[in-house]
Structure 1
Amino acid sequence: MDIEVRAATDFDGVRALVGPKRPDANVCWCLSHRVTAKENASLHGPERGELVRRMCASERPPGVLAYDGDEPVGWAGVAPRADTQYARSRKIPRVDDLDVWTVWCLRVRPGHRGKGILPRLLDGAVDFAREHGAPAIEGYPVDNRGEKVDLTMAFVGFRSLFERAGFVRAADTDSVSGGFPRVVMRLDLR
């Protein structure tokens, strides 16, 4: 399998990974952590997709997509922490004043899981942040110690995945996902 990861400028690819089956549905579109709570609550049905469409066409797309040939098979939401809900989080602490970027959502399409796409996707998110001048990148995965995680909560990633990509534990958090504690994992890009 030849996986290529690139900026999420392909709206149809993003829709295939995080969009709804029905355009009027109020699904996340990976916006819950990306925009303010007020803006998130104000967006309904197709408005959510239209915001993502504009983000895909902007100078800084909302993340990266992994492709197997022409087929989008993976998604990672990545942006400056200051542009996400994590900038105001009471449960996930800031480590310092560095203008870090955040990768907050990792998703691989059913039928493509277990094929090594996730590590490539995380590497692509790191490259994307680096190309946009990020001094460091963080993730807030679960520390599940190898135990099974409910797939609906696995979008935050696993500590072991981040460690294999060179990230180090920078702090503990007060956040929990799927019954497991989350940790701040950081990779210096300087």
Structure 2
Amino acid sequence: MTSMTMRVAPATAETWPELERVFGQPGDQATCWCQWFKLTGAEYRATTTAERRDALHGQTSGSPTAGVIAWLDDEPVGWSAVEPYSAYSGLGRSPITRRLEGDPVDDLWAVTCFVVRLDSRRRGVARHLLGGAVEHARSSGARVVEGYPVDPGVRPSLSAAERYHGTVSLFESGGFSVVRRPSATRAIMRLGLDT
């Protein structure tokens, strides 16, 4: 049995062709391109898939970049979106993720989604992506990282498409704690960073 090496790094203009391979697999990511939380519902419906793809291309070409990419050996296998909470206008409008009194806002980064290629699932890719997302946020000045996972322990029938936020157990394995449960199947989880 051969050993495989996983690595995660911030996505860049240079890694864009590899990121396109991750998003080019069948599934919702091939049309969303991680723009759902960036746009209003009307804006999202008014954009084409090509426009969303171009938007992510621009968001991964700047600094800090909009997320991290994972490779298994030299093959791109996954992506996680992570940016300051303020970069995601949709989070503030959602009843699940909007701010409540006392919630952090400054220096808060949000991990909003995971994309793992179908042929690379069940290999720990999401766990590595979450670790890479936390390190990217930390190195960019975040003091708190927040996630919005689903809880298949409450509803085991959650589809793979519904798990793009990550799962409660994934975030727990990364050191995150549940701070509130806005619905039976969703949690707000946070990790404080020592910067």
Pairwise TM-score range, normalised by the shorter structure: 0.7 to 0.9
State the partner residue of 1:110: 118
2:80 pairs with 1:76: yes
AA in 1 matched with 2:167: F
2:20 pairs with 1:15: yes
State the partner residue of 1:92: 97
Decide which moves more: 85-94 or 47-56: 85-94
RMSD (Å) for aligned C-alpha atoms: 2.0
State the partner residue of 1:177: none
Q: Take 2:145 and 2:188, find their aligned partners in 1: how far apart are those partners?
A: 10
Moved over 3 A (4+): 35-39
SS at match of 1:163: helix
Aligned 1:137-148 pairs, distance under 5 A: 137-145=145-153, 147-148=156-157
2:138 pairs with 1:130: yes
Contact 1:93/1:173, CA 8 A, preserved across alignment:
no
SS at match of 1:79: strand
2:158 pairs with 1:149: yes
Q: Take 2:32 and 2:49, find their aligned partners in 1: how far apart are those partners?
A: 10
Q: How many angstroms does 1:42 deviate by?
A: 3.0
SS at match of 1:104: strand
Contact 1:73/1:109, CA 8 A, preserved across alignment:
yes
TM score, norm. by length of structure 1: 0.86
Q: Take 1:133 and 1:34, find their aligned partners in 2: how far apart are those partners?
A: 21
Gaps of 5+ in 1: 175-179
SS at match of 2:119: coil
Decide which moves more: 122-131 or 31-40: 31-40
Contact 1:19/1:28, CA 8 A, preserved across alignment:
no
State the partner residue of 2:186: 182
* Alignment partner of 1:5 out of 5, 8, 11: 8
AA in 2 matched with 1:80: P
SS at match of 2:18: helix
Q: Take 1:75 and 1:16, find their aligned partners in 2: how far apart are those partners?
A: 11
Q: Take 1:142 and 1:158, find their aligned partners in 2: how far apart are those partners?
A: 5
TM score, norm. by length of structure 2: 0.84
Gaps of 5+ in 2: none
State the partner residue of 1:45: 49
AA in 2 matched with 1:129: A
Q: Take 2:59 and 2:111, find their aligned partners in 1: how far apart are those partners?
A: 16
SS at match of 1:27: helix
SS at match of 2:17: helix
AA in 2 matched with 1:57: S
Q: Take 1:153 and 1:132, find their aligned partners in 2: how far apart are those partners?
A: 29
User: Matched residues, percent identical?
Assistant: 34
For these two proteins, the number of residue pairs brought into alignment is: 181
